[in-house]
Structure 1
Amino acid sequence: MIAFTGMVKGLFFESPDSLYKVAIVERTEDEDIEGLPDDEVVITGYFGTLHQETAYRFSGELVTHPKYGLQFRVEDYALTEQIGAAGLVAYLSGEQFKGIGKKTAEAIVESLQGESLEILFKNPERLEGIPSFSKKKQAKFLEDLKIALGTDYTLIELSQIGFRPSEAQSLWRHYKEDAVPLAKENPYQLIYHIDGMTFAIVDRVAQQLDIMPDDERRLIGGWFEVTQAICYQSGHTLLPLDGVRQQVIRLLEKLQAFLIKEEDVNEALDTAVRQGVLVVEHGQITIPNLYYAEIGIFNHLEKIKKAPPCLDEKGKEAMRQSLLSVQEEIGIHYDDKQVSTILEALSHPFFLITGGPGTGKTTLIKGIVEAYAHYRGIELPSKNSMDYKECPIRLAAPTGRAAKRMQEAVGMPASTIHRMLGLTGQENQKDPMDGASEDIKADLLIIDEMSMVDVWLMNQVLKALPKGCQVILLGDQDQLPSVGPGQVFHNLLSYNVIRKERLTHIYRQKGQSTIVNLAHHIKDGVCPDDLFMKTSDHSFIPCRMDQVASVVAQTAALVKKRGYDLGDLQVLAPMYRTSAGIEALNQALQKELNPKTGKYQEVTIYKQNYRVGDKVIYLVNDPERNVYNGDIGKITGIVNGKYTESKQEEMILQFDQIEVNLTKADFKNIQLAYCCSIHKAQGSEFKVVILPLVGAFHRMLQRHLIYTGLTRAKEKLILIGEPDAFKEAIHTLAKDRQTLLAHLISLEWDPRDLGHSNLVIDDEEATGTEEKSSVDEKVVEGQEKKNTFLKVADEGKEKTSTSLKVADEGKEKTSTSLKVANEGKGKTSTSLKGKREQRQEAYTLQDRGKKNSTQPSPLDGETILTSELDKGKSHSKSSVVTGDGFVVEEESTGDQGNNLGTLTDAIVDAQIIDPMIGMGGISLSQFVEIDR
């Protein structure tokens, strides 16, 4: 790190959404610093206010921006002199002081009489007599000044104790002027409440504050960091105590070379539980926000348990007549099973529907909506109506694309769950008060793609429900679980109290379509006989891992030539890294589908070039722009900075009918989407899906992952890679996530035995008729009482969790051990395990003796606590190529794939691969010249 002193001469750029600034600084000392210009330096970083014509001492490093050249990235800064008169005038007449012009600013500076601005708080009368500066304006100015000065001094002081500018900005946003005292009191407490504030960051600061490596505050912070990391990356909401303990000690000793005693770690956990930083139940540990979310869900289920049916027999018959009446209007004839399901769903306050692809879930939603509207005399809004919020029926889904599919299929507006609840996606889930800002105004709520909903979001939905609202939840329990912790839909389906319907009959079977059949075989753990054959709508290209990127790119180009546009085609992969991962595939696909021509301007974001025409995915929820996490669009324009008001490049994106203008500060919210993760694609469908799998994806090769991936395809499915990788995925069933909700609804744990049993409603409360607020407030109050920023002088009065004494640990039950803990073989809580194991044994016999295996549930990318990628073995076989250079499958009565060919490098280089030949009657001669 280098440092220099200079005077701020002007600002080039100031982000409206953060404290990030770019400024020009004139050096004021003669010290020769290698690489640093002698006269003027462009600085970048996060600052409160940079006063012009004022000297600062800047510390940081020189970097070279790919477009703007040499810059000095500031890590620390401080004033070296009192701000001059010119600097103060420029400061006070700036945008942060509304209504203060240059003349008023000059008069204010003159009133200081050479003293600092702080004198105005002690002697506000100095402002009297300034022309056109009323008492009201003076009060507003002093209020704004207090905020502005607080920002400056807080950021500088946070920087001095070790926080980098971006970290200091995060603290200032969260705590304002309390940030410094809280950080000095206990820097580790910051990670309990601020998303993105990691143990490594606060541990660095703690060392500057001379906090010892075995200080209890540090040990508690370690417990929280490891517990939170494993929960969010494994999906479990409960973790075995022993496994987490070993990871905590490993983390503490790794970041600081100091031997940590296990007894100190145990004592720290006792304190953490008393303070409410962590929760321990039955030898399982979790973090408070997940615990309270699952308690909240369970409480609402208990309310529903004793609620009466919504329809009596007379009402059900009237609803049947309504359904019969609307069938002709909507052009759908429901069979007896579908009619029964619709009537049952509308007869109960809470109903679940699960089924695989082609089983008619979307068709049922249409029938439910139409029958309910006819029965109630409701006029349904058109699908593009903006006044749908007044309709007593609400449709929602976890993602924008899933909501749009629902809207098109049902014919009335649907929204994301986030938008329905007034959520932005930026909520701090650790804060019990930061949640849904809108209640749901509806008599009937229908949510699709429920497997994607995590515990926090589900609790937000239930808290926002009005009294008497019917809820119908639909999804496919065999798809990937939510990216966030929990397994809500799976847990709800196992709860006998809740009425449900499992759909098994396949309706969507056009012509000789094989994709749906593939999906149902794979769901059952059976490797289909025709998986590696070329059929009317799916094909397979065997190739090595190092060939995947090239083969995928060539295949995508051929699909595009067949008339499919980029929106119709989607490449899906399970991991970001490796030569066959998402990042490498996006590079290859961009080069093939949208090569650099020099015709259009490019922009570079995090070393990735973006061009007009690129397919991109939005990474955050942005309600103001009506674009949401997972929405896929296209770059339609890149505007040079010299033509924009911000003097920075701007980007124009097209998402369906929505055009979005992005400033440079928002560029981080997109990434290339020629290939995206299977998790990101969940809830979406595409006409053509290309799915590559190789052995190097080992720990991600799981049944629900390949099942979710291939069920995204509506018309064509192209599989690429190593046959054995596909087989491994089909035969590998992920372990169920361990959750508090599963233990409670399976009755394995008595709610009255919980350490926080006072937050769980009892049977007397579970009437289903009381106002929702009484139950919600119990949970929120319980969480607020555990606020770690309160002094823990009253610890004795707080209810503690299950004893953590090591001697008693043997008596406590443990759940299935996590991969990261490498501990024993704990007891699993899934209530369906017995039937599932019997079914798997049958599949094992059917599938030529290959055994099913299990792996921990994967997430979207790699886990924090796994340092290296699990290395898979190549499963490729020898090449079998015809005379014209195309790979063919050999006829075999044995296991399909054993005699599959693999592409030679020469074939890949020759770019003559065409997996669509043979699909739907397409012949080779239609597209390739053949010698005759």
Structure 2
Amino acid sequence: MTEFTGKLKSIIFESADSLFKILVVEIQGELADYADDEIKVTGNFGDLEEDGDYRFSGQLVEHPKYGTQFQADSCTRVLPSESGGVEKYLASDKFPGIGKKAAEKIVQALGPNALKLLQSDPAKIDQLGLKPKQKQSLLNGLRDTDNLSEMLVELANWGINKRTAGQLYKKYHEQALSKLQEDPYAPLGDVSGYSFKAADRLAQHFGIAPNSPKRAQGAVIEVLSLALTREGDTYVLLDKLVQDTVSLLQVEDYDLVAEAVNALQEQGKVVVQENRAALGSAFKVEAEITEELERVSKPLKNAYSARAVDRAIAHAEASLGITYDEEQKQAVKNAVTQPLSILTGGPGSGKTTIIDGILLALKELADLDEEEAEEDFLLAAPTGRAAKRMSEVTGYEAKTIHRLIGLGIDGTELDDLKELEGAILIIDEMSMVDIYLFKKLLSCISYVSHIVLVGDKDQLPSVGAGNVFSDLIACQHFPTAKLTVVHRQKDGSTIIPLAHAVNEGKDDQLLFQKTKSYSFIKCPPSQAASVVGQIAAAALKSGFPADDIQVLGAMYRGDAGINRLNDVLQEVLNPPQAKSKLLQAHDEVFRAGDRILQLQNDPEKGIFNGQIGKVIAVNPEDKEERLLANFDGKELAFAPNDLNNLTRAYAVTIHKSQGSEFPLVILCLTMQNFIMLKRNLLYTAITRASSKLVMVGDPRAFSQAMKQEGNQRQTSLVYLLREKFGEPAEEKAAAPISEAAEAAAYLTPELIHSGMISPMIGMEELTAGCENLQEVIAKRGQ
């Protein structure tokens, strides 16, 4: 075994699905039997920092093509020991929340050997005067230095990819390996990317039996987790849960599944209500939303008189030079007289104009001057584009919800979020808000007189779990204005009538007409990308700026998928210039001028999933600023590890386009998108076009999308809201779950085979129409 210490100069190869890397290392000191200053080092490595010092153990090997290399069996970080290096290391991304000043403070207190002192005696951290989060960050970072690389390599040997391995380490730290050995199914539902399939591989390695109770519990969690993340469902019907769990286990033992559900209930990981089963974590969020809604929707103490409200609305109409219809007037009245109200309507129904009127009316009623209004009017939307449009229409600053509540700044958690106080809070594009963001938003409201939630209930639901906006409307407790009259058809635009026709499932032949504002071009999937490119080129020649042209699709893969479309569109909308630099990252090439999309929330940078930006420059050789981009006026630098979260955005999925409008939309759908073709998908896509719409692809795909209603998400929130606030008058409530019933809510083998227990599991009264779960189980077990 040979050892040497060196400085990592660059990573010249990194496998996308394993930990294998090829490094260029500058040798410090000597490496036996090797004379050059630098050497290529190969092996499985965890996260490495360029310019970091490492000690490698392994052997020299002779590669037939690349010559002498060092094949590393292990690699350990050599911590810096001089003041400047220690400060730089502590201020790096490895220690979130510890900036330059805190790093200097640590080194001043402990000297250049600060890192070694803290590793040998972590209690010294308490002597540094750091904030609690900084202390924890320092502890985690120092612990990671010792254990991360070793654990990542071990997990790689078990077949777990590096991203998931990193998530496991983040969750369990140095106990990750022992936790997995004890119960490889435990991380399911808690660790992103960790699947039942991966757990099964480890279980086989550790000799865990296929009918193990731990495996059955893991399968139940996996079924519920997949429903949550893939479908957005926060609960699964019990009979489906049993069926899917047995299928996943490939062990036809219904007693085992019943016992698993019972055990998970006792652990608080699963909640069973009536014939519904939910992950405990998701149920908790929806229950907390219900409590927060009760808090923020208490009746106002000082309401405005009806006469004053009418005068204020008339003032708003005069100021805007319009006359509201009765639906619109009711929306304004709800907003200024109710603590929480809802406004929903399709394109052209006047939602934006009503927001303007609400602010003008409230300003009049509350007698606010302009400075007071700017402070008291809180406006927000889920995306930067939607917030920008809100600002342009109202003249008041609108922010993303994340920015409004301070979410993501320096990794803040709930206790550190901003408190919201003001005369009114208006949230636009509410259909995009999932249960997690809505819970955080509500928890931040300290005192706001009026809350108005605005959106289009017929658009696609949020990318994240839940169906918040539709559930709030469906519970029928909060005053809701539903706008049905179309007021806006820009210059005789035919797009809005088409959108409403699609939403109502009318004659699909309307899609294939050639009109002033939209048209259809038929082509097979193999030609779709080329046709889309030609349309984009023609649009450029006709005067459309490149930034006004947006292509939408349903899926990333396939001949007409987003990835292929972006390859073609990049050459059309941002062709390479002489001597322009190119940056290869994962399977994409970036260059200056490219439109890009952020794929994950990045709180430290202040950018979020779905945000669109533009590349300013690429620097293939730069170690820290590999790519520079502008996101909503903010210039950001992206290191190599950040590039996996970026993709080109000349074409984006319809889901990612929500909250935005574009002068020209080119919509590409084929039967390769079969599983995605739903009415709300097509409706959402069409409503992204503000001026022109060109539809491209297979007519059958568009017809199917128009005819096929979208799946209704299964969520606990609407049940919790009705339990809290009461059932709508025309509906009879399901029997509430008593404490005694909850205590009896257990499946047993005897009850399963007797077929006597209802889907409510222990409830004395049956909900009308509920299928008897035990009968289902008994039949399947025959």
- Residue 189 (structure 2) pairs with residue 198 (structure 1): no
- Residue 563 (structure 2) pairs with residue 570 (structure 1): no
CA distance in 2, matches of 1:350, 1:528: 38
Quickly say closer, same or farther: Cα 1:729–1:52, change in 2 above 3 A.
closer
The answer as to whether partners of 2:352 and 2:393 remain within 8 angstroms in 1 is yes
1:428-476: per-residue Cα shift (whole Å, max 9, x none)?
9xxxx76872232223211111111122222222222224632111111
CA distance in 1, matches of 2:147, 2:177: 7
Query: Which residue of 5, 10, 14 corresponds with 2:7?
Result: 10
Query: Which residue of 179, 198, 212 corresponds with 1:215?
Result: 212
Query: Which residue of 498, 514, 519 corresponds with 1:539?
Result: 519
Aligned position for 2:94:
none
Query: Which residue of 275, 287, 292 corresponds with 2:279?
Result: 287
The answer as to whether partners of 1:96 and 1:144 remain within 8 angstroms in 2 is no
CA distance in 2, matches of 1:144, 1:463: 25
1:66-124: per-residue Cα shift (whole Å, max 9, x none)?
xx9999998x7367xxx9xx98857996444756999x989999xxxxxx989965999
1:482-530: per-residue Cα shift (whole Å, max 9, x none)?
1122222112212232211110111102332111111111111102654
- Residue 642 (structure 2) pairs with residue 666 (structure 1): yes
Aligned position for 1:761:
none
CA distance in 2, matches of 1:143, 1:298: 32
CA distance in 2, matches of 1:731, 1:666: 41
Aligned position for 1:858:
none
Query: Which residue of 366, 369, 373 corresponds with 1:379?
Result: 369
Aligned position for 2:433:
453
Aligned position for 2:775:
none
Which is richer in helix?
A: 2
Provide the aligned C-alpha RMSD in A: 4.4
Aligned position for 1:462:
442
Aligned position for 1:238:
235
- Residue 8 (structure 2) pairs with residue 24 (structure 1): no
1:605-657: per-residue Cα shift (whole Å, max 9, x none)?
1121112222212223445545433222322322342xx4x3x5622223353
User: Alignment partner of 1:229: what SS?
Assistant: helix
Quickly say closer, same or farther: Cα 1:221–1:157, change in 2 above 3 A.
farther
Question: Which amino acid counterpart does residue 806 of structure 1 have in structure 2?
Answer: I
Matched ranges for 1:289-304 at <5 A: 289-302=281-294
Quickly say closer, same or farther: Cα 1:70–1:682, change in 2 above 3 A.
farther
1:226-285: per-residue Cα shift (whole Å, max 9, x none)?
2101222112211123333343344345xxxxx574422332221111111222222322
CA distance in 2, matches of 1:501, 1:517: 21
User: Alignment partner of 1:443: what SS?
Assistant: strand
1:307-339: per-residue Cα shift (whole Å, max 9, x none)?
435665x62322322333344444444345433
The answer as to whether partners of 2:381 and 2:427 remain within 8 angstroms in 1 is yes
Moved more, 50-59 or 414-423: 50-59
CA distance in 1, matches of 2:745, 2:271: 7
The answer as to whether partners of 2:617 and 2:628 remain within 8 angstroms in 1 is yes
TM-score, L = length of structure 1: 0.68
Matched ranges for 1:688-707 at <5 A: 688-707=664-683
User: Alignment partner of 1:191: what SS?
Assistant: coil
Question: Which amino acid counterpart does residue 241 of structure 2 have in structure 1?
Answer: V
Aligned position for 2:46:
46
- Residue 155 (structure 2) pairs with residue 162 (structure 1): yes
Query: Which residue of 393, 397, 403 corresponds with 1:409?
Result: 393
Matched ranges for 1:704-715 at <5 A: 704-715=680-691
The answer as to whether partners of 1:639 and 1:650 remain within 8 angstroms in 2 is yes
Quickly say closer, same or farther: Cα 1:38–1:722, change in 2 above 3 A.
same
User: Alignment partner of 1:531: what SS?
Assistant: helix
CA distance in 2, matches of 1:72, 1:167: 27
Give the Å deviation of 1:585.
1.2
- Residue 467 (structure 2) pairs with residue 487 (structure 1): yes
Question: Which amino acid counterpart does residue 233 of structure 1 have in structure 2?
Answer: R
Matched ranges for 1:624-703 at <5 A: 625-641=605-621, 644=622, 646=623, 650-703=626-679
The answer as to whether partners of 1:7 and 1:52 remain within 8 angstroms in 2 is no
> Sequence identity of aligned pairs in percent?
32
User: Alignment partner of 2:192: what SS?
Assistant: coil
CA distance in 2, matches of 1:323, 1:11: 67
CA distance in 2, matches of 1:101, 1:410: 50
Quickly say closer, same or farther: Cα 1:557–1:320, change in 2 above 3 A.
same
Aligned position for 1:316:
306
Quickly say closer, same or farther: Cα 1:348–1:436, change in 2 above 3 A.
farther
Quickly say closer, same or farther: Cα 1:612–1:148, change in 2 above 3 A.
closer
CA distance in 2, matches of 1:119, 1:548: 58
Aligned position for 1:883:
none
Quickly say closer, same or farther: Cα 1:565–1:51, change in 2 above 3 A.
closer
The answer as to whether partners of 1:616 and 1:671 remain within 8 angstroms in 2 is yes
The answer as to whether partners of 1:162 and 1:208 remain within 8 angstroms in 2 is no
The answer as to whether partners of 1:281 and 1:754 remain within 8 angstroms in 2 is no
CA distance in 1, matches of 2:509, 2:308: 48
The answer as to whether partners of 1:58 and 1:77 remain within 8 angstroms in 2 is no
1:279-298: per-residue Cα shift (whole Å, max 9, x none)?
22223222112211222233
User: Alignment partner of 2:610: what SS?
Assistant: coil
Quickly say closer, same or farther: Cα 1:28–1:448, change in 2 above 3 A.
same
Question: Which amino acid counterpart does residue 343 of structure 1 have in structure 2?
Answer: K
Give the Å deviation of 1:372.
0.7
Aligned position for 1:515:
495
Moved more, 669-678 or 506-515: 506-515
Aligned position for 1:613:
593
CA distance in 2, matches of 1:808, 1:300: 42
Aligned position for 2:579:
599
Give the Å deviation of 1:202.
4.2
Quickly say closer, same or farther: Cα 1:635–1:468, change in 2 above 3 A.
closer
Question: Which amino acid counterpart does residue 665 of structure 2 have in structure 1?
Answer: V
User: Alignment partner of 2:691: what SS?
Assistant: strand
CA distance in 2, matches of 1:136, 1:531: 67
Aligned position for 2:354:
364
Give the Å deviation of 1:214.
3.3
CA distance in 1, matches of 2:563, 2:307: 56
- Residue 517 (structure 2) pairs with residue 524 (structure 1): no
The answer as to whether partners of 2:598 and 2:607 remain within 8 angstroms in 1 is yes
Question: Which amino acid counterpart does residue 286 of structure 1 have in structure 2?
Answer: A
Question: Which amino acid counterpart does residue 310 of structure 2 have in structure 1?
Answer: R
Q: Which runs of 5+ in 1 are unaligned?
A: 32-36, 110-115, 125-134, 254-258, 759-798, 815-825, 829-932
Give the Å deviation of 1:806.
2.7
Q: Which runs of 5+ in 2 are unaligned?
A: 12-18, 91-102, 130-134, 761-768, 772-782
The answer as to whether partners of 2:328 and 2:354 remain within 8 angstroms in 1 is yes
Question: Which amino acid counterpart does residue 355 of structure 1 have in structure 2?
Answer: G
- Residue 705 (structure 2) pairs with residue 729 (structure 1): yes
CA distance in 1, matches of 2:699, 2:316: 48
- Residue 384 (structure 2) pairs with residue 400 (structure 1): yes
The answer as to whether partners of 1:678 and 1:708 remain within 8 angstroms in 2 is yes
CA distance in 2, matches of 1:122, 1:685: 53
Question: Which amino acid counterpart does residue 696 of structure 2 have in structure 1?
Answer: I
Aligned position for 1:909:
none
Question: Which amino acid counterpart does residue 45 of structure 1 have in structure 2?
Answer: F
Question: Which amino acid counterpart does residue 524 of structure 2 have in structure 1?
Answer: R
Aligned position for 2:533:
553
User: Alignment partner of 1:438: what SS?
Assistant: coil
CA distance in 1, matches of 2:568, 2:739: 54
1:815-859: per-residue Cα shift (whole Å, max 9, x none)?
xxxxxxxxxxx879xxxxxxxxxxxxxxxxxxxxxxxxxxxxxxx
Question: Which amino acid counterpart does residue 278 of structure 1 have in structure 2?
Answer: V
Question: Which amino acid counterpart does residue 281 of structure 1 have in structure 2?
Answer: Q
The answer as to whether partners of 1:446 and 1:472 remain within 8 angstroms in 2 is yes
Give the Å deviation of 1:154.
2.8
